Chains A and B, each alone.
Chain A
Amino acid sequence: AQSVTQLGSHVSVSEGALVLLRCNYSSSVPPYLFWYVQYPNQGLQLLLKYTSAATLVKGINGFEAEFKKSETSFHLTKPSAHMSDAAEYFCAVSGSGSRLTFGEGTQLTVNP
């Protein structure tokens, strides 16, 4: 079985500041991990995925995430926040099957 915990349901940063969204997972098998972004009244868009190749994964819109097995973490970062990054972000995990288990989401606010 898999589970995901996203620490912080709301994160607020200033424009130009570092974005750090936290995700910890639990999995009984080697996990596959994903980050999604959701803008208001839209579906989820894939930002990046970890599938056991490189532990540092680069995604779209300047985001990246690092898989740390020892910490069971897959935190999402971006060096410099833009106003357009304001959205809800979901971390998800899957194991040997095709279903994903999603975290509860983190709402990112970017202040001018």
Chain B
Amino acid sequence: SQTIHQWPATLVQPVGSPLSLECTVEGTSNPNLYWYRQAAGRGLQLLFYSVGIGQISSEVPQNLSASRPQDRQFILSSKKLLLSDSGFYLCAWNKGGIGNQPQHFGDGTRLSIL
């Protein structure tokens, strides 16, 4: 069966520090991968999605970037964190191709910027 792992679960970082959040998927190949951010009491904002290695689409211009160095690995990064980067970050995957495939989510990373 397929599983998705996200780490770390919680992270406290100072303003201006770098960021690296990692997500990996097991048990499938060539998944679509997604990074979302969820602000407190808000819905999900799609940040990036990827349909293959090295293929990244950005939804919202911002202080973050994403990379997909391997088929089942998706990394969210920042060179210098801002206070506004605080939030709950979720990674998700689904099978590519058609729209009837649900997305499956990791457990999330709670990021607090001080």
Q: Which residues of A contact B (CB under 8 A)?
A: 32, 34, 36, 41-46, 49, 51-52, 90, 92, 94-100, 102-105
Contact = CB atoms under 8 A, between A and B. Distances in A.
Of A94, A96, A100, chain B has the most CB atoms within 10 Å of the CB of A100
Contacts of B99: 32, 94-98
Query: A-side binding surface: helix, strand, loop or mixed?
Result: loop
A70 B102 CA distance: 24
B108 A104 contact: no
A24 B27 CA distance: 34
B87 interface: no
Contacts of A97: 99
B100 interface: yes
B43 A41 contact: no
A87 B32 CA distance: 27
A44 to B, nearest CB: 4
B107 A43 contact: yes
Interface of B: 6, 32, 34, 42-44, 46, 49, 51, 88, 90, 92, 94-108, 110
B66 to A, nearest CB: 15
B4 to A, nearest CB: 8
A84 to B, nearest CB: 18
Given A97-B99, A98-B101, A104-B42, 6 more contacts: A32-B100, A44-B92, A46-B104, A94-B99, A94-B100, A105-B43
A49 B102 contact: yes
Nearest to B10: A41
Contacts of B6: 43
A49 to B, nearest CB: 5
A99 B36 CA distance: 12
A99 B100 CA distance: 10
A44 B49 CA distance: 17
A102 B98 contact: no
Nearest to B90: A43
Nearest to B97: A98
